[in-house]
Chains A and B, each alone.
Chain A
Amino acid sequence: MTLRRYLGMALLAAGSLAAQNTVTPQRLLEASKEPGNWLTYSGDYSSHRYSGLAKITPANVKGLGLAWVYQSPVAGSWEATPLVVDGVMYITQRPNDVVALDAATGRVFWSYRYNNLEDPRVCCGANNRGLGVLGDTLFMGTLDASLVALDRHNGHLLWKTRVAEAKAGYSITVAPLVVKDKVIVGVGGGEWGIRGFIAAYSAATGKELWRFYTVPGPGEPGHETWLPCPTDSKEYCDPEAWKHGGASVWVTGSYDPATNLTYWGTGNAGPDYNPVQRPGDNLYTASVVALDTDTGKLRWHYQFTPGDRYDYDAVQVPVLADIQFQGKPVKAMLWANRNGNYYVLDRVTGKFLLGKPFIKVNWMSGFDTNGRPIQTPQPVGQPTYPGLQGGTNWYSPSYSPRTGLMYFPIWEDQAIVFSRIPVAYREGNGFGGGGFQPFVPSVGDPKKGIPTAAGVPNLRRGPINDWTDAAGHGAMLAVDPATGEPKWKFSMTDVTDVGAVTTASDLLFTGGREGYMQVLHARTGELLWKRNLGAQMLNSPITFEAGGKQYVAVMAGLGLFVFGLPE
């Protein structure tokens, strides 16, 4: 006998207004065909951060107004990108909360709090950059290096898998990449002496399916780039440097269904600033790796900064675009790197096609025929360009197939004086191996910096820009993807940690540390609209539809601001 339950509901299954269909692998493959949603960290697998929406236009954008705001109850920088699935927005907030909101009103359906172990060690705050989705399930990495799966309709925990040991400095801040039946994540901890890896987990069960160590072990290709210590070394050298060699992964990669490769950028070698104790190129740090999505096997790699001594990382979003390069069609990977160079690689073979500085660089003077940078380390005490934060960083770029331009935020004229000290690895302890001092040129003697003193600008600060443009400034740059030639530049007084989204109406949404959300014309860089949101922006805007209306969402301070046109 089956008893009758929930009589009223059974009669009215007619219900659903916004059809909420399961997110199939096919929907993820064709995410760009449903621009009303935002189904992956970068909008689609090719990471264009380009939306087919076009209701907000250069002509009507002046009417853009505030639709709603969601305030995070947790203080600290907010680096997450939301997902939007059929009218429901899913966000993460510090440290590992997940919240489901009505995308049209901002009202909360449910929230979930993950209780981290007491172990997490993170270099740069309790950040989480977002979620992955498949079927009816959301996936999130946690600060204590676990991966969790939640029922996206009610926020209940479905499974939890421990990925790595938090007390050894491992964490997960990256938004997972979901491909087919797999959830792919990498681990953070480049400042704690981890041995980085990228791993895939079963979306259904959380079981680990493959793991690729971004620092190869003995016998594996690439291990030979962790050279033996010289017998006559006068400085401390670590004979087992690879064991805590870094190459963390904390920004979401891309996927090309044609090659079945997934592409990920890797972080700095460990320790960050002292290459003497880890001689060699230190593969696969500061590199892009192309992995077979089914097996995790390495297909190719390219190292942007061999033997990285500047913490340049290569933690950017790989942009996959089919472009004309020197008169021929190329399946390209476009990459504006933190080290100040813009790159074009062949994403099928990994071949280096182009490298070109987009800002002042002095750590290298050019490339050899193999695409290896010719490094020019600066004398002790002298500034290195770009500085620690790089020419750009993890902030999402955008590629518009309409304009044919590549867009990315840049830091210009910003330098650091790096220093190195030996550091022995101890589990759970910081593993920097040196330091850095922002460089502010003296008037009349630009090679000489204003001495360190209270008040000398630091990398982090409050709402007053006491750094000023003397120590560098930000801009949004548009380049020809095939040549790296600048097409336009929108300059800001302060720097920017904000990526971009472009639209089918040739708008570009971005922001900056000053707290302005800015809408630019994607073809000219002309400023069309701006609003002061009152706090630093630290993520990249997205655009989506709810109830047939286009919105733009961005986080500033503790606020998630959503804008739309008037009714």
Chain B
Amino acid sequence: MALTVIAQQPVMQEHPEAYPKADIQYGARLYGEHCDRCHGANGAGVSGVNLASGKFRSATTDGQLKMVITNGFPTAGMPPFRFDTADLTGLVAWLRNMNSIDRGSMKAGDPARGRAIFEGKAACGSCHRVNGKGSRKGPDLSDIGTLRSAGYFERILVDPNGQLLPINRPVHVVTREGKAVDGRRLNEDTYTVQMVDGEGHLQSFVKANLREFRISTKSAMTSYRGELQPDELADLVAYMLTLKGVL
């Protein structure tokens, strides 16, 4: 019965304007690298399939589109593709917008310039770690390019508070002995809290033993809005999308 109800739900079509520009850009690049040799630049390269039409025979929702890309249509000659979350999010964003945007007009960020900004001007390594280098205060970003999307990077760089995952909220404690420790939350229960401290070390506290215990909803990261130019932000996003971890 429950299944029937779900099947009868109207399928919500995502609105093109809901797709972040960075995802569309990234997806356009991936499309060029992986898809257009069969589907063509205009999406009509396979007989009977017009990707630019915005209508897909085997997929209505974004989730279904991702499944089609992942599983392929081996009997029709389309192989399965091993794309990660960032890739699939980008590809779907591009497919949803390729009828209204010219791929040639999309200016993607430059990963090499982005790396220079990451390691230099933006000083991301003072809090984040990539492939064994940098601080452990913030989340390790070595494989962040598989876990998040271009749009997410674009948003968090200018709005860290709005994008802060609750588990990562800053914790401030003062022990009974008067020692203050600040860090990033890793885990919490009714009686204890676990965090990584300013030195990147793991710490666990019993709340009953604390004089002060505060969790902030404000990210320890400040916004790059105004501090980095749009092109620089795009470069940074492009670099973060290359962080695919140890393969």
- Residue ranges of A at the interface with B (Cβ–Cβ < 8 Å): 1-18, 20, 87-88, 100, 102, 104-105, 107-110, 151, 153-154, 156-160
Contact = CB atoms under 8 A, between A and B. Distances in A.
Contacts of A1: 121
Interface stretch (B17-25, B80-88, B136-144): B136-144
A154 B191 CA distance: 22
Given A3-B122, A7-B222, A15-B182, A156 B142 contact: yes
Contacts of B199: 13, 15-16, 20
A15 B197 contact: yes
B192 A107 contact: yes
Contacts of B203: 15-18
5 contacts: A11-B182, A13-B198, A16-B203, A88-B202, A151-B132
Contacts of A159: 246
Given A12-B198, A109-B194, A102 B204 contact: yes
B200 interface: yes
Contact of A2 (B123, B181, B201): B123
Contacts of A154: 129, 136, 139-140, 196, 200
Contacts of B172: 8, 12
A158 B131 contact: yes
A9 B221 CA distance: 10
A6 B138 CA distance: 8
Interface string B209-243: 00000001000111010010000000000000000
Contacts of B221: 5-6
Given A18-B203, A109-B204, A2 B182 contact: no
A5 B140 CA distance: 15
B140 A104 contact: no
Contacts of B198: 9-10, 12-15
Contacts of A7: 220, 222
Classify the interface of chain B: helix, strand, loop or mixed: loop
A166 B233 CA distance: 44
Given A109-B202, A158-B246, A12 B192 contact: no
Contacts of A160: 246
Contacts of B121: 1-3
A499 B197 CA distance: 37
B206 A105 contact: yes
A6 B164 CA distance: 13
B41 interface: no
Contacts of A13: 198-199
A12 B137 contact: no
Contacts of A6: 126-127, 137-138, 220-221
A109 B197 CA distance: 12
Nearest to A102: B204
B187 interface: yes
Given A3-B122, A5-B222, A109-B186, A12 B132 contact: no
Contacts of B181: 12, 14-17
Given A16-B199, A105-B192, A107-B204, A5 B187 contact: no
B90 interface: no
A156 B182 contact: no
Interface residues of B, number: 50
A143 B2 CA distance: 40
A15 B183 contact: yes
A14 B143 contact: no
A104 B127 CA distance: 28
B200 A105 contact: no
B202 A157 contact: no
Classify the interface of chain A: helix, strand, loop or mixed: loop
B182 A9 contact: yes
B170 interface: yes
A102 B194 contact: yes
A7 to B, nearest CB: 7
A154 B142 CA distance: 11
Contacts of B192: 102, 105, 107
A7 B172 CA distance: 13
Nearest to A108: B187
B124 interface: yes
Given A105-B192, A151-B132, A154-B136, A12 B182 contact: yes
B179 interface: yes
B106 interface: no
Question: Closest 5 interchain pairs by CB?
Answer: A102-B204, A15-B197, A12-B182, A20-B201, A13-B198
Given A3-B121, A15-B197, 11 more contacts: A5-B126, A7-B222, A8-B220, A9-B170, A9-B184, A10-B126, A13-B199, A107-B192, A108-B187, A109-B204, A157-B143
Nearest to A137: B132
A136 to B, nearest CB: 9
Contacts of B136: 151, 153-154
A88 B200 CA distance: 13
A105 B203 CA distance: 11
Nearest to B200: A153
A79 B172 CA distance: 38
A12 B196 contact: no
Contacts of B70: none
Nearest to B130: A156
Contacts of B129: 151, 154, 156
Contact of B197 (A4, A16, A104, A157): A16
B148 to A, nearest CB: 15
Nearest to A206: B246
Given A3-B227, A5-B221, A156 B143 contact: yes
A137 to B, nearest CB: 9
A9 B137 contact: yes
Nearest to A160: B246
Interface in B103-139: 120-124, 126-127, 129, 131-132, 136-139
A526 B179 CA distance: 45
Contacts of B139: 154
Nearest to B203: A17
A511 B131 CA distance: 42
A157 B142 contact: yes
A8 B220 CA distance: 6
A204 to B, nearest CB: 9
B127 A20 contact: no
B162 interface: no
A17 B196 contact: no
A83 to B, nearest CB: 13
Contacts of A108: 187, 194
A14 B227 contact: no
A155 to B, nearest CB: 8
A17 B182 CA distance: 11
B194 A4 contact: no
A282 B139 CA distance: 52
